[in-house]
Structures are given as structure tokens and as C-alpha cells.
């Protein structure tokens, strides 16, 4: 007779995060941190690829860089907000740009929150958890 473990009664499926950034090192950094916290992470190298993935797969959060080739983060967020199936996905924009005008531009594009790179691990996990509705452990 084999014994199969049953899932915990309060277990939830992993929350899915889409990381849209042209920098491989940044995507890897976010992936390592978020997967260690139990998130499923998908990556895109620019806004066009990110938008294609966002309309094909349900995500709980998008983390988006500002400066990318092909389609920048602002254009990605404008397009994301126009799509019926993606308009409500929370979006966290990240950039090395730190002026108040940069934060304002991110909000106008549709970002729910803006963090300046480099984003420390604790700050990333705190904001991601808050944005997807996770209670702190």
C-alpha cells in the first residue's frame, strides 16, 4: 500500500509573477528571490514579449523595468491597462531613475508602485507580498 501526502487544507496555488526587464542579471536576481519565497516566476526581455505572455497566462503581479528596447515599461503598462484581461494585474515598476517625475510618470502609465534599483531583497519581498495580498509569515 502506498501513502500519498495530501495538500494542506489552507494551501494555495503558487502566485505567478511576470518579470519584464531587458537585463539578464536583474531578471535572475528577482527570480532567485521570488522563487525562494514560493512564487512562480516567468520572464520577458521587453514589453512586447511581456504583453504577449500577460495576455496568454494569468499573472498575479508584473514587475516592470522602465528602460527596455522594443517596448519600454511605460508603453507596456499603457498596453496592459488597455487589455480587458490584463487591466487589473498589479504592476510594480523598477528603475534606476529616482526623481519624483519618474515616479509620477510610472503612476500615470499604470504602475501601482515604483521602486528604485537596486532593489534590496527585503524591500522586494515586502512589496511583492503586499501587492499580491500575502500575509507576512
Rounded to two decimals, the pTM is 0.89
Q: Is residue 6 part of a domain?
A: no
**Per the structure, how many domains does the chain have?**
1
Q: Is residue 93 part of a domain?
A: yes
Comparison of pLDDT for 3 and 16, the residue scoring more: 16
Nearest-angstrom CA–CA distance, 49 and 43: 9
The DSSP code sequence of 81-133 is HHSTTTTTS-EEEEES--SHHHHHHHHHHT-SEEEESSPPHHHHHHHHHHHHT
Q: Is residue 119 part of a domain?
A: yes
Supply the mean pLDDT for the chain. Answer: 91
The pLDDT assigned to 134 comes to 82
The pLDDT assigned to 6 comes to 45
Q: Is residue 59 part of a domain?
A: yes
Q: Is residue 2 part of a domain?
A: no
Burial of 113 (0-12, 13-18, 19+ CB in 10 A): middle
Radius of gyration of the chain (CA): 16
Q: Is residue 117 part of a domain?
A: yes
Whether residue 28 is preceded by a cis peptide bond, meaning omega within 30 degrees of 0, is: no
User: Which cell numbers hold the place of 136?
Assistant: 507576512
Which CATH number is 27's domain given? 3.40.50.2300
Burial of 17 (0-12, 13-18, 19+ CB in 10 A): buried
Q: Is residue 65 part of a domain?
A: yes
Domain containing 128 equals: 16-132
Amino acid at each position: 500500500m502506498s501513502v500519498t501526502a495530501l495538500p494542506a487544507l489552507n494551501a494555495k496555488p503558487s502566485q505567478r509573477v511576470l518579470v519584464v526587464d531587458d537585463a539578464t542579471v536583474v531578471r535572475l536576481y528577482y527570480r532567485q528571490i521570488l522563487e525562494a519565497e514560493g512564487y512562480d516566476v516567468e520572464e520577458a526581455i521587453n514589453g512586447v514579449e511581456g504583453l504577449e505572455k500577460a495576455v496568454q497566462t494569468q499573472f498575479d503581479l508584473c514587475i516592470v523595468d522602465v528602460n527596455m528596447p522594443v517596448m519600454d515599461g511605460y508603453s507596456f503598462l499603457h498596453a496592459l491597462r488597455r487589455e480587458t484581461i490584463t487591466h487589473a494585474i498589479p504592476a510594480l515598476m523598477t528603475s534606476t531613475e529616482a526623481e519624483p517625475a519618474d515616479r509620477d510618470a510610472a503612476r500615470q502609465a499604470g504602475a501601482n508602485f515604483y521602486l528604485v534599483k537596486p532593489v534590496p531583497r527585503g524591500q522586494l519581498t515586502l512589496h511583492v507580498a503586499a501587492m499580491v495580498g500575502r500575509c507576512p509569515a
